[in-house]
């Protein structure tokens, strides 16, 4: 029986065998606790009929877990040094497709419609490095891919922002963007002690169930996100101040006071107090006032 990859001894053995060192530039931290990976796979609710897209295969610890449960796993790994390692560690499995490619440059829709077309449901998962967490998350959410969920391990601070509710310090444009496209649920906190090398902060496993339709309806989605970014430009300033500055820079002459009145929102409020529905109402009001 093949020894599980996600253990301190097996990970060190693999590192020594292949003369590997950790690439700090890629944010590499390998998981040493198989029970945590089991809980992560459990959270995806993947079955033997389903397909998996994995972001960052590493040395194959999570890939191995999915291979045991799913019909097919397509795992992306950007570090070329790890390709022969994965060929070795994942040799017992014939349902894994390793792609040496930056996930942000991959045609994920084409992948879903071809390689994974014969699976019942498609889920995505991965242990995301800090420096590309947000771009990867938004790549999956904004493209409105035919996937059921996205379950990722990310820095605890970022997870708190993604799942934050209005009126809290962590609530911001990232919270709204994520919750617009999906329902976010924090699964568990993961101690920094179960990674090699040990990161400076704890992580969180968070699951996003993608919505069939966005959480709120807006007539102009691009304007919706522009308004949100402008509203949070300076958190301590009021909505009116932030939006007045933004509109002025764009040379717009929209009657902001009338837009606030139309949306039934007090311009003296701060962006962090507004719900998704209120931002949607404000966006539509700005659109109706000529912006």
Contacts of 164 (CB under 8 A, 6+ apart): 170, 171, 172, 175
Q: What integer pLDDT is reported at residue 290 of this predicted model?
A: 81
Q: Does domain 221-288 have CATH number 1.10.8.100?
A: yes
**How would DSSP label each residue in 245-265?**
HHHHHTT----HHHHHHHHT-
- CA–CA separation, 126 vs 110, rounded Å? 20
Other Cβ atoms closer than 10 A to 110: 9
For the chain, the domains span: 8-210, 221-288
Please provide the distance, in angstroms rounded to a whole number, between the alpha carbons at the two ends of the chain: 65
Q: What integer pLDDT is reported at residue 7 of this predicted model?
A: 95
Helices (H) and strands (E) in the chain, counts: 12, 9
pTM: 0.92
Q: Please enumerate, by residue number, every residue annotated as part of a binding site.
A: 29, 31, 56, 77, 102, 127
Contacts of 121 (CB under 8 A, 6+ apart): 46, 47, 49, 50, 51, 147, 148
Q: What integer pLDDT is reported at residue 16 of this predicted model?
A: 94
Contacts of 79 (CB under 8 A, 6+ apart): 23, 26, 28
Residue 59 corresponds to which tokens in the numbers above? 């040395």
pLDDT tens for the chain, 291 residues: list them: 568 999 999 999 999 999 988 776 666 789 999 999 999 999 999 999 999 999 999 999 999 999 999 999 999 999 999 999 999 999 999 999 999 999 999 999 999 999 999 999 999 999 998 889 999 999 999 999 999 999 999 999 999 999 999 999 999 999 999 999 999 999 999 999 999 989 999 999 999 999 999 999 999 999 999 999 999 999 999 999 999 999 988 877 778 999 999 999 999 999 999 999 999 999 999 999 888
Which sign does the torsion angle of CA 275, 279, 285, 288 carry? negative
The CATH superfamily of 8-210 is: Vaccinia Virus protein VP39 (3.40.50.150)
Q: Please enumerate, by residue number, every residue annotated as part of a binding site for S-adenosyl-L-methionine.
A: 29, 31, 56, 77, 102, 127
């Amino acid at each position: 029986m093949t020894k599980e990859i996600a253990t301190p001894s097996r990970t060190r053995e693999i590192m020594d065998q292949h003369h590997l060192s950790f690439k700090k530039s890629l944010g590499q931290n390998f998981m040493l606790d198989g029970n945590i990976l089991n809980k992560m796979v459990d959270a995806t609710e993947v079955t033997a009929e389903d397909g998996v897209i994995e972001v960052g295969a590493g040395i194959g610890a999570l890939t191995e877990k999915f291979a045991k449960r799913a019909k097919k796993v397509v795992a992306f790994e950007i570090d070329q040094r790890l390709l022969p390692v994965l060929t070795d560690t994942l040799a017992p499995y014939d349902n894994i497709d390793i792609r040496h490619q930056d996930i942000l440059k991959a045609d994920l829709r084409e992948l879903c419609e071809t390689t994974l077309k014969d699976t019942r449901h498609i889920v995505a998962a991965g242990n995301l490095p800090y420096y590309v967490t947000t771009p990867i998350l938004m790549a999956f959410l904004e493209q409105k891919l035919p996937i059921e969920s996205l379950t990722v391990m990310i820095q605890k601070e970022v997870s708190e922002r993604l799942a934050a509710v209005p009126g809290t310090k962590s609530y911001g444009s990232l919270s709204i963007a994520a919750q617009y496209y999906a329902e976010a649920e924090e699964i568990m906190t993961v101690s920094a002690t179960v990674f090699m090398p040990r990161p400076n902060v704890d992580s969180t496993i968070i699951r996003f169930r993608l919505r069939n339709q966005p959480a709120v309806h807006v007539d102009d989605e691009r304007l919706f996100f522009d308004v949100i970014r402008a509203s949070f430009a300076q958190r301590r300033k009021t909505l009116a101040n932030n939006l007045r500055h933004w509109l002025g820079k764009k040379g717009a002459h929209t009657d902001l006071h009338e837009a606030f009145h139309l949306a039934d929102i007090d311009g003296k409020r701060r962006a962090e107090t507004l719900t998704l529905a209120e931002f949607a109402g404000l966006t539509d009001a700005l659109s109706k006032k000529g912006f």
